[in-house]
Amino acid sequence: MSSDVLEKRYRMLLRAYPAGYRRERADELIDTLIGDEPTTRRWPSVRQSASLVRGALRVYGGSTATRPTAVLLWQGVHLGAMAVLALGVLIGLDDLVEAFQFGGLSDPLRVLRDQGVHEVMVGAALVALVAGRTRTAAVLVVAAAVVPTVVSPYLFLNGLPQWWAPVVAAPLILVSLRRPADVPPAPRANAVLVTAGVLALHLISAEGFRLADTRSQVVAAAMVVAGVAAFLWVATADQRLLIAVVPTLLLGTLHQLGNTMSTGELLRRPDALPSLVVAVLMAVGAVVSTRLRQRTRA
């Protein structure tokens, strides 16, 4: 009886795998998980659960694909475009709410002209991309990089990060239009999850570092370490995340570059250039190691 309950719970965990893989391997995995020995266990162990989640992430990252490097690169670029647009939308939304909170209600049309048009166009490009309409997304993202600035140069002149989102995403989307036919697009639900994961990394609050008291700094350090560790736990299994995070860090660096214009200042901000350099190196490392593994294939 407990074995039936355990099997049911393992089957729930196996839902982390792509549907095609699950169809092929679910029974076999359950057989291996339950084993030959009678068990009184009712819950999957933490170790087996973590291993299954990482196994599923590896499959999403292209480990079982005929050309894993191609899957890693093409899907990574596509997910990077999605993540940078989502980050732009999120920052834009936050700024819009703030603008209305601090006097924007007296002239809402101006706020909408300055920020709303951009927000809507970037949001539309993101929706098109999530819906798998890459060509429509390409048109919308190019328009989002140009039209709102023509309507109002507010975001551009103030060097706000959301202005950079379509500028960074446009070449990525245009490149991903050339995705080879044998490389499947990232499944939609998985793409949304990956995007949420990259956004979560950017939402880790590091404000405590700027405060004087040690307790706030320790809490901030613990949050940053835990967040980065969680991200790396996922991203070392599904290495598309290592590629997808690069454009979002580029967004921060371009924003800082526009604001400070000083390389020294950029180097002192760990959330800008240093993070970007580390992310680029990790992404290159992921591509090279995948390529090396692929080269040994029969």
Residue 113's φ and ψ, nearest 5 degrees, are: -70, -45
Smallest separation (angstroms) from another protein to the CB of 5: 15
Q: Which of 36, 109, 150, 180 binds another protein (CB under 8 A)?
A: 36
Q: How far is the CB of 244 from another protein (least distance, A)?
A: 21
Select from 51-59, 78-86, 98-106, 158-166 the region that touches another protein (CB under 8 A): 51-59
Q: Looking at 15, 41, 135, 293, which residue binds another protein (CB under 8 A)?
A: 293
3-state secondary structure labels for all residues of the chain: CHHHHHHHHHHHHHHHCCHHHHHHHHHHHHHHHHCCCCCCCCCCCHHHHHHHHHHHHHHHCCCCCCCHHHHHHHHHHHHHHHHHHHHHHHHHHHHHHHHHHCCHHHCHHHHHHHHHHHHHHHHHHHHHHHCCCHHHHHHHHHHHHHHHHHHCCHHHHCCCHHHHHHHHHHHHHHHHCCCCCCCCCCCHHHHHHHHHHHHHHHHCCCHHHHCCCHHHHHHHHHHHHHHHHHHHHHHCCCCHHHHHHHHHHHHHHHHHHHHHCCHHHHHHCCCCHHHHHHHHHHHHHHHHHHHHHHHCCC
Q: Of residues 9, 11, 54, 269, which one binds another protein by CB under 8 A? A: 54
Q: Is residue 4 a contact point for another protein (CB under 8 A)?
A: no
Contact pick of 6, 33, 117, 138 for another protein (by CB under 8 A): 33
Q: Is 40 in the site for another protein (CB under 8 A)?
A: no
User: Minimum CB separation from another protein for residue 7, in Å?
Assistant: 9
Q: Nearest Cα to 197, choosing from 153, 146, 167, 235?
A: 235
Could you tell me the smallest distance in angstroms from the CB atom of residue 270 to another protein? 32
Q: Which of 9, 18, 51, 184 binds another protein (CB under 8 A)?
A: 51
Applying CB under 8 A, which part among 57-65, 154-162, 181-189, 218-226 lies near another protein? 57-65
Beta carbon nearer to another protein, 17 or 74: 17
Asked if 158 interacts with another protein (CB under 8 A), we say no
CB nearer to another protein: give 51 or 216: 51
Q: Is 296 in the site for another protein (CB under 8 A)?
A: yes
Window 63-82: residues binding another protein (CB under 8 A): 63-64, 68
| Binding-residue total with another protein (CB under 8 A) | 29
If phi > 0 it is left, if psi is from -120 to 50 it is alpha, else beta; for residue 107 that is: beta
- Tell me which stretch binds another protein (CB under 8 A): 30-38, 148-156, 193-201, 220-228: 30-38
What is the contact surface with another protein in residues (CB under 8 A)?
A: 25, 27-33, 35-36, 47-48, 50-56, 58-59, 63-64, 68, 292-293, 296-298
